[in-house]
A and B are shown apart, each in its own frame.
Chain A
């Protein structure tokens, strides 16, 4: 076991972890932040996307211990109390959510994009989300939702 110090959604956390624990498992199983979903466990679906130091990454491909001293933002850290982040609001209102299993990862990838590029083109959005799979929506309303926030 090793000691991990990490800031998750603004909260400083110290935990004893098995060094082979992935960041996804640490967030989902240990901290109970179940919004960070596992879809494949091998970086191919994007369901587990979180922001690590502000950048969208797939948390199943990172060992928790590699994030020593870093800050992580998960889907649970996006809303301010009951006030949704503009991206969450847009996903809800535009009908961009069906089964919702890809949604946390999709929103976090979109967040990562907007932090770098607040005014993305449709092509920018499609490129940024190309590593996040969704089987329900055909991405149409997802792309619309992200653009509606970006264009504000």
Chain B
């Protein structure tokens, strides 16, 4: 599948451009930041899941030696609500607290220890209310608690606004898709399958704790550094919450960020708190850093999901109708979950050819930590249900699950459930590739009778957001070095490297001659966010256009020197040359002239500064049917196959083989794509399927330590020979060099592949993840 077009820098497994500073310990992260006279902030959190704040007494905290500022939520500290698309959140709770951990006050002090002591001295009186934690109960027309009585009056965003429910007061977004006639489809079906699937709440567990540093500069302007993956989103949120113009906020993302996975964008608590504290402690900067326990217990997660699904099929295995209900069991504030609730629908809408399709997707508030994004953005959860269902149906029809999927999977030109004609669809090829690699159909035996083996397969896709916009600036320095100014956040996924390769390819210069600036809203131009696997495609297109703009400027200047038209020129290795006569050339430096007392200047035009925006408007979805010719920018496809060994004595599942095939359009850097595949599958795929669960009791997290909230270790992953990652390249006509994306498209098929393999091994169907040893033993006992 890998195409053989020759590029000099694209498609090459170039090591991460930031790896050396990370390997030597020189790389500075937000948590490493120290500024002169810096103070340390801590947050006072609610012990109740739902309560009114009656009074807050900060006097003891304020009189503690070393305390410099104490803030509570009021008119001055938190004048406005903010949100990703639905403004439902204050920086600090003002009237009611809505989850255990809701911030009610904060302290800035000379040390973290003093701040912590001061937080304990703040006395808050509450009147407790009934709370709701269960998704089904929160979704009811008469729920046991209503979180936001004033929901319908909250401000919403104009682009993709949330839709509320007439009669379900905790619903913060509702999205529906209708294609064909599902009821008619069920009548035509030979068999109808109906089931319900669930996923647990899981956490990103980024290794760097959430952190922010805020200060006011000499002129009193807000400057904030944060562990965030959407600098321009945070800038907007700060401006919204303060009621000030965006231009009065400077947001900087340090060069290194210790993991993202969606969890670095929705809630800006550390930023907001550090900022308000900094305003009060001016001119001293304030740093607010989460403890691991805070991060695990109070920050955004992948929320629980309820997936109800009904599918009608013909005897020959043709799917004729599908009806789904998705419920995002959200938290106290919608955050970016307002959009997850809608966009979780995309995966089921684009996996198979289904003529009659109906889907209702909801997000509901509960008294738990706020919603946020998590790699896959609801699609891993929705596809968990769909891909288990497809396995059930195939086996119910006595068909091979692979054959069943190949028969129904969507292909180039097919309409999806939105009515959009699909383009760049590698699903079928991915299915065939993983089936071959795992030796599908060949049964292997465990070494002992109590070790049962089985294989499972799943298909997935992940859309990327539309409308979508990225801007890029490239500056060509007089020595030929090209500086890339982009607000794409490199949180480990390798964007700085991949984007550098694009610049290198455009200018035909080594990657070491490209410098990437870290995001800074004063310097680097607009980017929507580093989310939705959108950077390679959107920022890549912007970079390509910006490079072309810069090259046009270079060629215009050089054409006078070389005496030919600009269209006859090209550039490589920091030289400009005549295409037909490469001997006639000049160094980029010679476009500049040396100046007395200083370096070099251009005689006109200021600088060689290429700039461009890539804007993908998409087409809005119809509010009643979801119909749209272009609801997303592109779709990544993935197929995965797992072989598991289940110990029926202990209930332990070992993933002994795992194969993933990912259609990324074009791998700008195969080493990075492999890294995304491996992390997505081996850490998050296996973790979410078998190990990970935020365990709560009435809204209180019971396992907020890494010893109890278990992510995979080296011992939980398959050995080197047991894992294979296959890169598929189905080019996209709008992608830069055909590229789409990778990061989010990885784990969307992992859980069903593993669960389907467990079913193959022991004949038990699980409907909720994680599939723990306890669940396996109970299920085996029930079966016996």
Residues of A whose CB lies within 8 Å of any CB of B are: 28, 33-42, 44-45, 47, 74-76, 78-79, 84, 88, 91-93, 95, 97-104, 107, 122, 125-127, 129-144
With A101-B208, A135-B683: A141-B675 Cβ-Cβ less than 8 Å: yes
Alpha-carbon distance between A60 and B19 when the two chains are bound, in angstroms: 25
Residues of A within 8 A of B209 (CB): 38-39
Counting chain B CB atoms within 10 Å of each CB, the highest count among A37, A99, A137 belongs to: A99
With A35-B24, A100-B22: A138-B682 Cβ-Cβ less than 8 Å: yes
Q: Report whether A99 and B207 are in contact in the complex, using a CB–CB cutoff of 8 Å.
A: yes
With A74-B25, A78-B24, A136-B683: A98-B714 Cβ-Cβ less than 8 Å: no
Alpha-carbon distance between A99 and B255 when the two chains are bound, in angstroms: 11
* A135 CB, min distance to chain B CBs, angstroms: 5
* A74 CB, min distance to chain B CBs, angstroms: 7
Which of A95, A132, A135 contacts B205, CB < 8 Å? A135
Interface check B280, CB cutoff 8 A: no
Alpha-carbon distance between A70 and B684 when the two chains are bound, in angstroms: 39
Would you list 28 pairs from A and B whose C-beta atoms are within 8 A, ordered by A residue?
A: A34-B25, A35-B24, A35-B27, A36-B25, A37-B207, A41-B291, A44-B705, A44-B707, A84-B24, A91-B23, A95-B16, A99-B208, A100-B18, A100-B492, A101-B29, A122-B720, A125-B714, A129-B713, A131-B713, A133-B713, A135-B205, A136-B492, A136-B493, A137-B675, A138-B717, A139-B713, A140-B720, A141-B675
The 7 closest A-B pairs by CB, nearest first: A35-B25, A138-B682, A99-B492, A100-B22, A101-B258, A75-B25, A98-B492
Alpha-carbon distance between A28 and B289 when the two chains are bound, in angstroms: 15
* B611 CB, min distance to chain A CBs, angstroms: 29
How many residues in B have their beta carbons less than 8 Å from beta carbons of A? Answer: 57
With A41-B291, A92-B15: A100-B32 Cβ-Cβ less than 8 Å: no
Name 13 extra pairs, CB < 8 A, besides A76-B25, A91-B19, A126-B714: A37-B208, A39-B292, A40-B706, A74-B25, A88-B20, A99-B259, A101-B258, A101-B492, A127-B715, A130-B713, A133-B205, A136-B679, A137-B679
Q: Report whether B492 and A75 are in contact in the complex, using a CB–CB cutoff of 8 Å.
A: no
Residues of B within 8 A of A135 (CB): 204-207, 259, 261, 679, 683-684, 711
Q: Report whether A99 and B256 are in contact in the complex, using a CB–CB cutoff of 8 Å.
A: yes
User: B residues 661-688 with Cβ under 8 Å of A?
Assistant: 671-672, 674-675, 678-684
Which DSSP category, helix, strand, loop or mixed, fits chain B's interface? loop
Alpha-carbon distance between A134 and B256 when the two chains are bound, in angstroms: 16
Interface check B712, CB cutoff 8 A: yes
Which of A40, A44, A47, A129 contacts B714, CB < 8 Å? A129
Which residue of chain A lies nearest to B671 when distances are taken between CB atoms in the complex?
Answer: A95
Which of A37, A42, A142 contacts B31, CB < 8 Å? A37
Which of A36, A101, A133 contacts B711, CB < 8 Å? A133
Q: Report whether A33 and B25 are in contact in the complex, using a CB–CB cutoff of 8 Å.
A: yes
User: B residues 180-237 with Cβ under 8 Å of A?
Assistant: 204-209
Residues of A within 8 A of B205 (CB): 133, 135
Alpha-carbon distance between A107 and B19 when the two chains are bound, in angstroms: 13
Interface check B443, CB cutoff 8 A: no
* A78 CB, min distance to chain B CBs, angstroms: 7
Which of A91, A98, A133 contacts B494, CB < 8 Å? A98
Alpha-carbon distance between A34 and B712 when the two chains are bound, in angstroms: 26
Interface check B539, CB cutoff 8 A: no
Contact with A along B1-25 (1 / 0, CB 8 A): 0000000000001011011101111
Alpha-carbon distance between A130 and B28 when the two chains are bound, in angstroms: 25
Q: Report whether A133 and B207 are in contact in the complex, using a CB–CB cutoff of 8 Å.
A: yes
Alpha-carbon distance between A84 and B705 when the two chains are bound, in angstroms: 34
Contact with A along B478-512 (1 / 0, CB 8 A): 00000000000001111000000000000000000
Q: Report whether A75 and B24 are in contact in the complex, using a CB–CB cutoff of 8 Å.
A: yes
User: B residues 75-109 with Cβ under 8 Å of A?
Assistant: none
Interface check B719, CB cutoff 8 A: yes
Residues of B within 8 A of A79 (CB): 24
Interface check B26, CB cutoff 8 A: yes
* A132 CB, min distance to chain B CBs, angstroms: 8
Residues of B within 8 A of A40 (CB): 292, 705-706
Residues of B within 8 A of A129 (CB): 713-714
* A46 CB, min distance to chain B CBs, angstroms: 9
Alpha-carbon distance between A135 and B205 when the two chains are bound, in angstroms: 7
* B711 CB, min distance to chain A CBs, angstroms: 6
* B114 CB, min distance to chain A CBs, angstroms: 13
Q: Report whether A34 and B683 are in contact in the complex, using a CB–CB cutoff of 8 Å.
A: no
* B738 CB, min distance to chain A CBs, angstroms: 22
With A99-B256, A101-B258, A130-B714: A144-B720 Cβ-Cβ less than 8 Å: yes
With A136-B683, A137-B675: A130-B208 Cβ-Cβ less than 8 Å: no
Residues of B within 8 A of A38 (CB): 31, 209
